[in-house]
Amino acid sequence: MKKLVLLLVFNSYFSFANTTNQTPSTIKEVTIYVNGAQITRTAKITLNSGTGEFIFKKLSPKIQENSIQISGLNQASILSINYGINHINKQDRAENITEFRDKIDELNYAIQLEDNLIAGYEEELEIIQNNRQLGNENQVVNLDKLQQFTNYYRKRVTEIRGLIYKSLKKKRHLDNQIKEINQQLVELNVEEKIETGEITVKLNSEITQQLNLIIKYNVTDTGWFPVYDLKADKINSPLQLNYKAHIYQKTGSNWENVKLILSTGDPNTNNIKPDLKPKYLNFISRYSNYNSASATKNYNYKYNPFVKTVSGIITDESGSPLPGANVLVKGTSNGVVTDFDGNFNIDVSNGKELEISFLGYNTETIPIHSTNINLSMKETLEMLDEVVVMCYGTKKERDVTGAVSSINLGGVSSALQGQASGIAIRGISSRGYSSSNYKSKKEVKTNYGDIIEEGITNRRFEIKKTYSIPSDGDLTVINIDNFQVAAQYSYYAAPVVNENVFLTAKIGDWEQYNLLPGEANVYFEGSYSGKTNINPQATTDSLTVSLGIDPNVVVKRNTLNNFKKAALLGSNKTLSKAFEIEVKNNKASTISLILMDRIPVSQNKDIKIDDIDSGTSEYDSKKGLLKWNLKLLSHTSENLKLSYSVKYPKYKRVNL
């Protein structure tokens, strides 16, 4: 008996010193990055002296294990931290999702009842049909009984068939209701099976104490990106700029009444600095497979998961379209080729980056950030003398859209004579930010009087009000700030590449607005005019945005045929060219127009540009660009001229 008592005492002490508790915790704060987020949870625990184990259940299954941090330990110490996935305990469903599921169960039960009724009716019908024979060889049925039976048979069979039809009709109606609810669940991005994450913490303490633990960890499948609304009521009025954050999250865990902080940082970015090593030049064999490495580009734009299709124009540095350029969703076989005008349109629902390539130009990789992406490609630095393309087991396939599914080139060596040429929206208005424990280097106030905290490497918008964001992948829109921006309006045209005339707004001192690169919706005179892109990180002293095309200002660029002539002199050929640009203002008001054109610039000593007549333009001889600053009165027009001549060896061809 004494041994039994001692054993019970020992077991009680062991259980006391090694407790395992399923500890509740609450999300208090979420710092949302452009890609990912940091979750801050709090939990109150009682840690007895000795060792205690605490399990935090029903967390996100998208936790990055290396990011887990625990603070608020006082005199306790951490023995171990473990993170795992629980495939049995599922996340709690939202209240509306539970209602939908309960409704589906009710409808399925009603369908089963109708199936039971139909089965009963069919059984009764079979019994009637199997007992239709009247009388036998020794008994003759009289006419009255025959009439009674046929009347009953006809009436009852008709009733049964009517009841079966009625039940089938009700079943179809119930099935349609289930289908509609399932479609709504699909719209809400409901996942039937959502596993949960669990963090198990083992702590040790010499004394019994109460702890307020703070658990921080990073999660994936969430982020935010900026979207702007540009509104101009009329020319010469201030530009209204609404700065909004589009937040999405599909972490597997709902955020209920949490404090939000929007950060411009991205913890998933490669933070390892590059090492620059010497480059040694040597001759290259014409049969060698040589690729010149180019620097990794930083486009400032971030991936937008809600972009499903992208269209745009691929041009060279001079603005001329590049037909036949390959546009590929990186990491897939989904690709298209630009048309004669350099235009492309591609489905990007299965990718995050576009890879654009063209022979003689550096391949560019750019994040899918907008529905409209235009790219100016740079020529390779090498002057190519010869191209040798060798294909090994090459296969090129195109689907019905014209997309290239696979191109495999075995080797390419240096080329050419001359120079080679991829929802429901919840609208939330944020009216405030508050200061926090975050130690910022600089604080800037918004027009609402709220605080923007600017750290060493990122900027944070700390939102004062708490919000609930379910894990359904839908957009939650928060208004970050609203500006009334002084802008200088003008029209812009470059008819050598595009004969449309664009209304632009030039914003000075744009650094004060703390903008990020993003897509902008343009509204002019109360109407939606389309989309444009804002890249405030460009190295310019002003920010110019396009507000759309104005058809009431017309520009035409015509070749003067009487001036275009070629002359042969010795071994050289001289080609003279002239153009006339006609500009007409059909508006009822005076406008300012910036008109651009160009004269080619020679990059070869055998090609000479002479007889340049730039007219009244501002001429940049190094770049060959011409610029006119015009003031056009209402319903007036103006004609401008330019001309030049090109002299080159007659046995050569020049890309005029």
CATH topology of domain 16-91+194-220: Jelly Rolls (2.60.120)
Nearest of 434, 287, 282, 310 to residue 368 by alpha carbon: 310
Q: How confident is the model at residue 132, as a pLDDT?
A: 65
End-to-end distance of the chain based on CA atoms, in angstroms? 108
- Residue 505 confidence (pLDDT): 84
Q: Which CATH class is domain 309-413?
A: mainly beta
The residues with which 40 forms a beta bridge, in sequence order, are 29, 216
Calculate the average pLDDT of the chain: 78
The answer to which of 252-256, 484-488, 644-648 has the lowest mean pLDDT is 484-488
Mean pLDDT of 392-408: 40
Separation CA 641–CA 578 (nearest Å): 7
pLDDT, greater one: 111 or 305: 111
CA distance 287 to 388: 8
Query: What was the pLDDT predicted at 10?
Result: 40
Indicate left, alpha or beta for 473 from its phi (over 0: left) and psi (-120 to 50: alpha): left
- The single residue listed with the structure tokens 């009487």 is 562
Q: When comparing pLDDT for 268 and 500, which is higher?
A: 500
Is-contact 472 190, C-beta < 8 A?
Answer: yes
32, 68, 200, 442, 511 from 459: Cα distances, Å: 12, 23, 33, 9, 13
Residue-level pLDDT at 440: 41
**pLDDT score at 236:** 74
Domain boundaries, the chain: 16-91+194-220, 95-133+142-187, 223-268+425-549, 309-413, 553-649
Least confident of 30-44, 145-159, 246-260: 145-159
Residue 335 has pLDDT above 80, yes or no: yes
CA angle (422, 423, 427) in 5-degree steps? 115
Selection from 245, 244, 247 nearest residue 223 by Cα: 247
- Distance of alpha carbon 173 from alpha carbon 160, whole angstroms: 20
Using the predicted structure, report yes or no on whether residue 631 has a pLDDT greater than 60: yes
Sequence length of the chain is 656
**What is the arithmetic mean of pLDDT over 361-389?**
73
HSE at residue 345, side-chain half, CA atoms within 13 A, is: 1
CB atoms within 10 A of CB 566: 12
CA neighbor of 26 nearest in space, from 39, 42, 44: 42
Q: How far apart are CA 573 and CA 625, in angstroms?
A: 24
pLDDT at 6: 40
What pLDDT is recorded for position 321?
Answer: 84
Within 13 A of 468's CA, how many CA atoms are on the CB side? 6
Q: CA-CA distance, 65 to 77, in Å (whole number)?
A: 19
553-649 has which fold? Immunoglobulin-like (2.60.40)
Q: Are the folds of 16-91+194-220 and 553-649 the same?
A: no
Query: Which SS3 state, helix, strand or coil, does residue 581 take?
Result: strand
- 398-409 average pLDDT score: 39
- Gap between the Cα atoms of 467 and 260, Å rounded: 7
> Taking a C-beta distance cutoff of 8 angstroms, is the pair 192, 97 a contact?
no
pLDDT at 15: 40
Q: From its phi and psi, is residue 238 left (phi > 0), alpha (psi between -120 and 50) or beta?
A: beta
| Residue 144: band (very low, low, confident or very high) from pLDDT cuts 50, 70, 90 | confident
Residue 488 predicted with pLDDT over 60: yes
Tell me the longest C-alpha to C-alpha distance in the chain.
Answer: 130
Q: Which of 409, 405, 417, 421 is nearest to 656 (CA)?
A: 421
- The residue ranking higher by pLDDT, 137 or 623, is 623
Instruction: Give me the residue label for tokens 């041009």.
Output: 315
Tell me phi and psi for residue 104, to 5 degrees: -65, -40
**CA dist 338 → 45, 200, 345, 409, 643 (Å):** 62, 54, 8, 20, 31
Cβ distance 617 to 642 under 8 Å? yes
What is the C-alpha to C-alpha distance for residues 103 and 106, in angstroms, rounded to an integer?
5
- DSSP class of residue 253 equals S
CA distance 631 to 589: 11
Contacts (Cβ under 8 Å, ≥6 apart) of 106: none
Task: Write down the pLDDT at residue 445.
Answer: 56
3-class state of residue 350 by DSSP: coil
Query: How crowded is residue 99: how many other Cβ atoms within 10 Å of its Cβ?
Result: 12
| Cβ-Cβ contacts under 8 Å for 625 (sequence gap 6 or more) | 596, 597, 598, 619
Say if residue 247's pLDDT is above 70: yes
Is residue 409 over pLDDT 50?
Answer: no
638 HSE (CA, 13 A, CB side): 16
* E runs forming strands in 209-342: 209-219, 222-232, 239-249, 255-263, 309-316, 326-329, 335-337
Query: What is d(CA 301, CA 307) in angstroms, rounded to the nearest whole number?
Result: 13
Is 70 exceeded by the pLDDT of residue 433? Answer: no
Structure confidence by residue, pLDDT tens digits, 105-125: 889 999 999 899 898 888 888
Residue showing tokens 């090459």? 394
Query: How many other β-carbons are positioned within 10 Å of the β-carbon of residue 461?
Result: 24
Interacting residues of 621 by C-beta distance below 8 A, sequence separation 6+: none
Is 156's pLDDT higher than 70? yes
Question: Nearest 5 degrees, angle CA 157-CA 160-CA 163?
Answer: 150
User: CA of 560: how far to CAs of 267, 428, 599, 601, 624, in Å?
Assistant: 58, 58, 15, 21, 20
